[in-house]
Structures are given as C-alpha cells and as structure tokens.
C-alpha cells in the first residue's frame, strides 16, 4: 500500500514533466511593439505562454506567477531554442511579427513547478540526497563564491541537503581539480566515507586577463601627472580591465561513479567587475541545466542501482542474475564484474535503492550496506 501511494504521488508530480528527453515544441505566435526587436520579443513571450497553457492549469499558473513574471517575461529568449519569422510588417508605426518558435518545453515545465513540488519529487525518488559542492581552480585553490552560486541554484530547485566540504584536505582538492573522477575509486571512497555524501558537484574554473589599479599610488616618483591628485580614483583605468573565464561542471554519484551531468562554458568581459561578468557568461545556463538534469533523474520512476553481491551470497553469476531478475519491480539486470566471489551488478528498478532493499529483504536477502543507488549484500 505504501509503494502504491508513493507511485500515485510520483505520477502526479511527473505529470508536469516532459514525456521525451528532447522536449521542444514548435509554437506559432505573433507579437507587436514599437520596434521590430520589441515585437519579436513579444512574439516569443506569447509562444511561451501558449506552450505553458498546454499542460499547466490556471491555478498552477497563478501559484507560479512570480516565476512567470521574473523569468518568462524578462528572459523569453532563454526558453526559445530557435525561431523562424513568418511575417513582419509595420502598421501605423507599430511593428507586427509572426514566428514559429521552438520552445524548450523541458526547461519551461521545470521552472513552472513550485519549489515544494520539486522537493517532493526529489524526496520520493532520490531519497533527498546529500550533495557536496566543490569549486576549485587548476591549482586546487577553492572558490567559495562560485560554490555559493552552485549551492543557491540547487536549493532553488528543491535540493535541501547540501553538505559543507570546507574542511576537505588540500591534497584531495588538488586531486579533484586534476582528476576526471570517473574510475578514480580511491577518491570516490574517500569522499563517500569522509564526508558522507551521495553526490559531488565538481566545478573547475580557469581565469586569465589583465586588471588595472584604478587608484593612483600615493608618493610614487615614477608617476608624473598634473591635475590629478595622487590616490584619486580613475574610472577610466577600471574600464581597461579584461577577464576570460572557463568553467567545467560535473555532477556524479560517489557511490556508483555514474555521471549525472557534465557541461562547460567560457566567457569574456571588460570594464569594471570584468571577472564577475565573464563568470556569469561562462556559467550561462549550466547551473540551470545541472539542476534540471538532477530533477530529470528524480522524475524517472526507473532508477539505476548498483548491487554488490559479496561472498557468493546469491550463488554463481548466472544464479545471481536469475535471482535478481525475478525480484518485483526489476526491469533489467547487467552483470558488470566478478572477482573472488564478489559480483557487481547494475539493476534497473522501479523505485529507489531503499525500495529495492525492502524487496530483497522480503525475499530473504540480507542487506549489509545501503546508500544512494547502492546496495551491498
């Protein structure tokens, strides 16, 4: 009864989710404005509203009015993958534009879910995972500002259990900065045991550029400028600042090594706060895509769970395959490795690792250890 209720709740939440991973809808819409660009933006907003109305009822639209106002109405281009202008004309000084727009339905639906809906989805199907965020440069130096940006983005998407990794050893930070993580079992074990996390979001940042001190040094004999007081702030010098930033982001399960998301971006900027502007450009949509990738995993009723069978607990490799395949809710079983009586198996299961562990116990299988997407028997 408990699992049935859980599946009903999950179905209700997934109703807002795209059926397909490549969810983009072609929507025809028209807009008007004082300029051609303003009319085009209005047409994009109209296209997004049409797509939102297809699957979101009026009550939900009202509950998410702030999201619509803050994002759809001010960042319409972020929801439109591409567009084609069908007609454009100017009538009595007013531009009118009609377009066919490819609307990013998956991103739109994610943003229209309330934070409570997202949190419920994460709790039901990901067991409210513990996530650690670590942002470092190529030398392993930590960037707390960038970490805070990632943490804030995940929290907005409903992830609540963010683990503080500030005490992580400097040598491990350097290894994380240089390692691909995939296949680095020693590092994964260190992270999983030392910090008790389920997922790690690793951000690597590289910076370059030039910066100028906008304040003239006081009593510098090498500076001979009349009419300017030494120590004065010179805005024009600040405008010469240049910055280039590249960022790579990867989210992985520390228990299984599965990569949930990988992305990269770069940005250039000049003037005051050049590095901050370049970082925003480099990040772009990555933080949103990172959270969305995690939510897509949560929205999928079928989870990928790694099962480590030790000491021949289920018999031979073929017997292990047969025993696990017969468990209720198991769709596929993939044997990955076998060594000294230990067999590693990947299982596609309708539910969480906890649900699978409960099914195993009901079948007489003793659970030795369990974590997010990982069971040891």
pLDDT value at position 207?
82
Q: Is residue 117, in this structure, part of any structural domain at all?
A: no
pLDDT value at position 146?
84
pLDDT value at position 157?
78
pLDDT value at position 18?
47
- Count structural domains, the chain: 3
3-state secondary structure of 27: strand
3-state secondary structure of 189: helix
Domain at 48, CATH number: 3.10.28.20
pLDDT value at position 339?
86
Looking at the fold, whether 292 and 318 belong to one and the same domain comes out as no
Q: What tokens appear for 67 in the block? A: 């999201």
- Spans of the chain below 70 pLDDT: 1-24, 54-77, 106-107, 110-111, 114-116, 179-183, 211-240, 284-285
3-state secondary structure of 32: strand
pLDDT value at position 21?
43
Q: Is residue 249, in this structure, part of any structural domain at all?
A: yes
Q: pTM for this structure?
A: 0.65
Q: Rounded to 5 degrees, what are φ and ψ at 189?
A: -65, -40
d(CA 189, CA 254): 7
Residue ranges making up the domain that contains 34: 17-112
- 219's CB contacts (< 8 A; 6+ apart) are 230
pLDDT value at position 20?
40
Looking at the fold, whether 210 and 320 belong to one and the same domain comes out as no
pLDDT value at position 308?
93
pLDDT value at position 98?
94
- Listed residue (147, 250, 132) closest to 193, CA to CA: 132
Looking at the fold, whether 80 and 223 belong to one and the same domain comes out as no
pLDDT value at position 115?
67
d(CA 148, CA 365): 42
């Amino acid at each position: 009864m408990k699992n049935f209720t859980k599946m009903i709740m999950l179905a209700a939440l997934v109703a807002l989710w795209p059926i397909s991973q490549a969810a983009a809808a072609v929507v025809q819409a028209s807009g008007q404005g004082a300029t051609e660009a303003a009319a085009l933006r209005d047409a994009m907003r109209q296209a997004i509203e049409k797509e939102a109305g297809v699957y979101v009822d009026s009550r939900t639209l009202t509950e998410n009015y702030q999201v619509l106002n803050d994002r759809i109405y001010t960042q319409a281009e972020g929801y439109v993958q591409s567009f084609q202008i069908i007609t454009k004309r100017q009538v009595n000084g007013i531009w009118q534009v009609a377009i066919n727009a490819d609307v990013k339905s998956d991103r739109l639906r994610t943003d229209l879910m309330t934070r409570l809906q997202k949190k419920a989805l994460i709790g039901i199907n990901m067991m409210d995972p513990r996530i650690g965020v670590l942002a470092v440069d190529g030398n392993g130096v930590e960037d707390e500002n960038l970490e805070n940006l990632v943490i804030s983005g995940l929290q907005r998407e409903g992830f609540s259990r963010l683990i503080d990794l500030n005490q992580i050893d400097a040598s491990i930070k350097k290894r994380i900065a240089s390692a691909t993580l995939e296949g680095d079992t020693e590092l994964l074990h260190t992270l999983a045991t030392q910090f008790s996390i389920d997922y790690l979001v690793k951000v690597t940042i590289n910076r370059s550029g030039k910066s100028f001190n906008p304040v003239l040094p006081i009593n510098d004999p090498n500076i001979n400028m009349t009419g300017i007081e030494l120590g004065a702030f010179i805005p024009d010098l600040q405008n010469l600042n240049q910055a280039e930033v590249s960022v790579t982001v990867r989210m992985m399960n520390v228990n299984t090594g599965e990569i949930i998301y990988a992305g990269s971006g770069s940005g250039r900027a000049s003037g005051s706060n050049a590095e901050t502007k370049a970082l925003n450009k480099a990040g772009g949509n990555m933080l949103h895509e990172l959270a969305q990738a995690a939510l897509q995993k949560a929205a999928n009723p079928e989870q990928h769970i790694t099962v480590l069978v030790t000491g021949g607990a289920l018999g031979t490799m073929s017997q292990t395959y047969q025993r696990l395949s017969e468990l209720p809710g198991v769709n596929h079983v993939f044997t990955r490795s076998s060594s000294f009586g230990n067999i590693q198996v990947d299982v596609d299961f309708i539910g969480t690792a906890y649900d699978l562990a409960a099914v195993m116990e009901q079948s007489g299988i003793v659970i030795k250890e369990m974590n997010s997407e990982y069971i040891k028997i």
